[in-house]
Structure 1
Amino acid sequence: MSDFIQLHVLTSYPASNLNRDDLGRPKSVVMGNTTRLRISSQCLKRAWRTSDIFQNIGAEHVGIRTREMGRYIFKALTEGCTLNEALAGKAGGSLATVKEKDAVAIARAMAGVFGKLKAEYKPKKDDKAEAARTQREESLEIEQLAHFSQEEVNAVAALTETCRTGGKAPAKEQLALLRKDIKTVDIAMFGRMLAAEKAFNVEAAVQVAHAMTVHPVTVDDDFFTAVDDLNRDDSGAGHMGVSEFGAGIFYLYLCIDRGLLKHNLQGDTELTNRALAALLQAVAQVSPSGKQNSFGSRAYASYILAERGNDQPRNLSVAYLDGVSKKQNIMQEAIKLLTETRANMNTVYGQTFESAEINTLTGSGSLKELAAFIAG
């Protein structure tokens, strides 16, 4: 079995602001002494793992990333519903309820298994009821996001029902909620770190680079106005604002350790292949959600080069240090530079990666064939 799968992806986005910085501007990076647009790997992974494509793998194989599990345990206990009903946003239920004070103790005990909790709420005489409830529920949150496998969610749900019956916080031996034998695709791919419980950490099998444009880009300003429909004298705009955006062809690189992915999925070959197919489809077809209502900038990849082999992986972004010339068809030139750089790398380092590609400019290859290739 080949150890590594590499994907080199070129996607052209029209006017867009897919991934913003703290000032609302499209993220950028300086490369080759020129400014390029950038989409962070965190943004891309979030778009992929929450897409319908990943959900179609099966709910039992997709995790939940949250710091609010304690809130939902509390909701389930105080509103008489199961944990899964609480997570689904269903209000109320027919099950027995637990006093709020006891529910807080139960929720903190269970949520604390997955990370350090926020400070415990200590009521004061002058606290108003609503403010007190808000602060009490905030104390149930984990300080950092935790990634729960479905097996762990099921374990939390079962212990919630046990505690509902007894009305008391679980004993220490009941709090063995973390699981090693999980089959959660997004955790297997992108990893999990639990600083306090290192034995349950998962090393990421998929490395994702930040996507960046293959050419220099200038961020533009869109001055816009909105009309007040009831302003009948047409005296001016009801609202004015500025939105920043950019456009370009983005190069994206992924490196997949197929052996590690299979290991993370408990040796399940069939699930590993389904996960790889879902990742490829998401990479090719899913766009980040940022400002989509304003720009409608959904795009499919125009070119994907997949490589498979045991040699040391390498990112091919060096192909775009000088930026693609605007004199030619930019996408064609970007593909040419990428394939030439790959060929030169293979010659110099004696690398023997097998390869396959899809190219929408020429209509060659298919996503189905590429999925079969990376499955090995």
Structure 2
Amino acid sequence: MMSRFIQLHLLTAYPPANLNRDDMGSPKTAKMGGYERLRVSSQCLKRSWRTSDAFQAAMAGHIGKRTKEMGLKVYEILRKKDVTHKDAIAWSKSIAGVFGKLKELSKKEKDGLKDLDKKDREKKELVELEIEQLAFFDTGEEQGIIDLANTIVKRTEGPTDQELELLRDRMQAVDIALFGRMLASKPSYSIEAACQVAHSISVHPVVIEDDYFTAVDDLNNGLEDMGAAHIGETRFAAGLFYSYVCINRDLLIENLGGDKALAAKAIRALVEAAVKVAPEGKQNSFASRAYASYVLSEKGDQQPRSLSVAYLKPINHRENENFISDSIKALVEQKDCFDSVYGKCADGRYEINVPKKEGTLADLLDFVSQ
């Protein structure tokens, strides 16, 4: 019998980087234990993993679309088949509106349409095909939309109410099954996320630094102006991050309509991405790619728990001591403390410890997917 919960605890070290920026362009931070830590948001991590080459390749044909513009896609299909602009707009609205509230032109904007030529007016009207908020489309739902568009073209009349029943409560797209979706207009078709991802935090205090940089004009011979062609500044920091992921295998299988094989494949792909894929922020400037240095994976039906409390007191480098080893030791000790007080918190565990050359990625993936 397979375990319900799979938990991952990862330690990943990044060199100087700006992995995930705030609204001021500075690396995101969080206060923990009275100290400022580096932070990478769960949204950033999930997007980095689901859009990574490895995840996309492993789950080809089972990746959903997150977009506001599905109505525009339908409109383009209809127009290419010589449907009039008026009908294409109306039919596309009815289809896209199934997945969320559509944008509307203001009264002033609508009144201004009469002053535009036909081409500009039609372009302006396309705004009302966009959904106000990003919607997640399952692969089956997207194919159903395309099939419906091709059907109504042939009969030259809009979709019926029955044909507009496009939403599904069981997914073929593993990223929706893992990370969920919320449909405010049709809450019964919302999908509860089978995977929970914590914000990654540095196990130590951090000081954000500034990088002052210049760019030189290659054609400037310096005879008149020795100054730089461009001057800029960017913020960065380095850190060892603790990350936590919890997957509810039973819910994932349910979200995927009972497809256990697809669920196992999705778990393998997600775990490999979590171990190997770095956030994309400022990679061209810092090349801060990194693999996890330590992974503790756990399986069981017990109530999940994070081990972040291991770093409530920050890890500080001390002379003649190893920073990564100290961080691993703190994590393992916290796991043992929970086991001692609450009883065994997992039925099975597997570790990758890179400094000690223990464990392999292949065995880790077999462990989590079985």
Normalised to the residue count of structure 1, the TM-score between the two structures is: 0.92
What does residue 363 of structure 2 align with?
369
1:104 alignment partner, SS class: helix
Give the distance between the partners of 2:325 and 2:127, measured in 1 at CA. Answer: 53
What does residue 33 of structure 2 align with?
32
Identity within the alignment, %: 49
TM-aligned CA distance change 1:293 to 1:134, over 3 Å: farther
Give the distance between the partners of 1:32 and 1:128, measured in 2 at CA. Answer: 62
Task: Say which is worse superposed, 348-357 or 129-138, in terms of deviation.
Answer: 129-138
Mapping for residues 223-262 of structure 1, pairs under 5 Å: 223-233=212-222, 234-262=225-253
What does residue 335 of structure 2 align with?
342
Give the distance between the partners of 1:300 and 1:225, measured in 2 at CA. Answer: 31
1:56 alignment partner, SS class: helix
- Superimposed CA distance per residue, residues 202-237 of structure 1 (whole angstroms, 9 cap, x where no aligned partner): 111100000010000101000011112222225211
TM-aligned CA distance change 1:101 to 1:31, over 3 Å: same
What does residue 325 of structure 2 align with?
332
Task: Say which is worse superposed, 262-271 or 356-365, in terms of deviation.
Answer: 262-271
TM-aligned CA distance change 1:134 to 1:220, over 3 Å: farther
- Unaligned segments of structure 1, at least 5 residues: 81-95
The answer to whether residue 270 in structure 2 is matched with residue 279 in structure 1 is: yes
What does residue 98 of structure 1 align with?
83
What does residue 108 of structure 1 align with?
93
The answer to whether residue 293 in structure 2 is matched with residue 292 in structure 1 is: no
| Contact 2:211 2:235 (8 Å CA) reproduced | yes
- Superimposed CA distance per residue, residues 17-63 of structure 1 (whole angstroms, 9 cap, x where no aligned partner): 11111111100000111110100000000011111222223432110
Give the distance between the partners of 1:131 and 1:302, measured in 2 at CA. Answer: 56
Letter in 1 for 2:251: L
What value does the CA root-mean-square deviation take over the aligned residues? 1.4
Give the distance between the partners of 1:159 and 1:184, measured in 2 at CA. Answer: 20
| Contact 2:338 2:345 (8 Å CA) reproduced | no
Give the distance between the partners of 1:21 and 1:351, measured in 2 at CA. Answer: 39
The answer to whether residue 314 in structure 2 is matched with residue 320 in structure 1 is: no
Letter in 2 for 1:273: A
Letter in 2 for 1:109: S
Task: Say which is worse superposed, 307-316 or 177-186, in terms of deviation.
Answer: 177-186
Report the Cα offset of residue 184 of structure 1. 1.4
Give the distance between the partners of 1:128 and 1:50, measured in 2 at CA. Answer: 40
What does residue 55 of structure 1 align with?
56
Report the Cα offset of residue 129 of structure 1. 5.0
1:29 alignment partner, SS class: strand
- Superimposed CA distance per residue, residues 241-282 of structure 1 (whole angstroms, 9 cap, x where no aligned partner): 110011100000011111111111111121111111101100
Give the distance between the partners of 2:119 and 2:339, measured in 1 at CA. Answer: 65
TM-aligned CA distance change 1:131 to 1:244, over 3 Å: farther
| Contact 1:206 1:254 (8 Å CA) reproduced | yes
| Contact 1:2 1:309 (8 Å CA) reproduced | yes
Report the Cα offset of residue 312 of structure 1. 1.0
TM-aligned CA distance change 1:27 to 1:133, over 3 Å: farther
What does residue 310 of structure 1 align with?
301
Mapping for residues 4-83 of structure 1, pairs under 5 Å: 4-78=5-79, 80=80
| Contact 2:6 2:368 (8 Å CA) reproduced | yes
Give the distance between the partners of 1:131 and 1:34, measured in 2 at CA. Answer: 55
TM-aligned CA distance change 1:316 to 1:58, over 3 Å: closer
| Contact 1:211 1:250 (8 Å CA) reproduced | yes
Letter in 1 for 2:325: Q
1:37 alignment partner, SS class: strand
Give the distance between the partners of 2:247 and 2:171, measured in 1 at CA. Answer: 19
TM-aligned CA distance change 1:362 to 1:129, over 3 Å: farther
What does residue 124 of structure 2 align with?
135
The answer to whether residue 197 in structure 2 is matched with residue 208 in structure 1 is: yes
Letter in 2 for 1:8: H
Letter in 2 for 1:17: N
Task: Say which is worse superposed, 164-173 or 40-49, in terms of deviation.
Answer: 164-173
Mapping for residues 126-165 of structure 1, pairs under 5 Å: 126-128=115-117, 131-165=120-154
- Superimposed CA distance per residue, residues 298-355 of structure 1 (whole angstroms, 9 cap, x where no aligned partner): 1111110001111111111110011112112111110000000000011011124121
Report the Cα offset of residue 182 of structure 1. 2.2
2:129 alignment partner, SS class: coil
Letter in 2 for 1:246: A
| Contact 1:61 1:184 (8 Å CA) reproduced | yes
Give the distance between the partners of 1:131 and 1:32, measured in 2 at CA. Answer: 57
| Contact 1:111 1:142 (8 Å CA) reproduced | yes
TM-aligned CA distance change 1:170 to 1:5, over 3 Å: same
Task: Say which is worse superposed, 261-270 or 334-343, in terms of deviation.
Answer: 261-270
| Contact 1:12 1:302 (8 Å CA) reproduced | yes
- Superimposed CA distance per residue, residues 282-304 of structure 1 (whole angstroms, 9 cap, x where no aligned partner): 00111111111111011111110
The answer to whether residue 185 in structure 2 is matched with residue 184 in structure 1 is: no
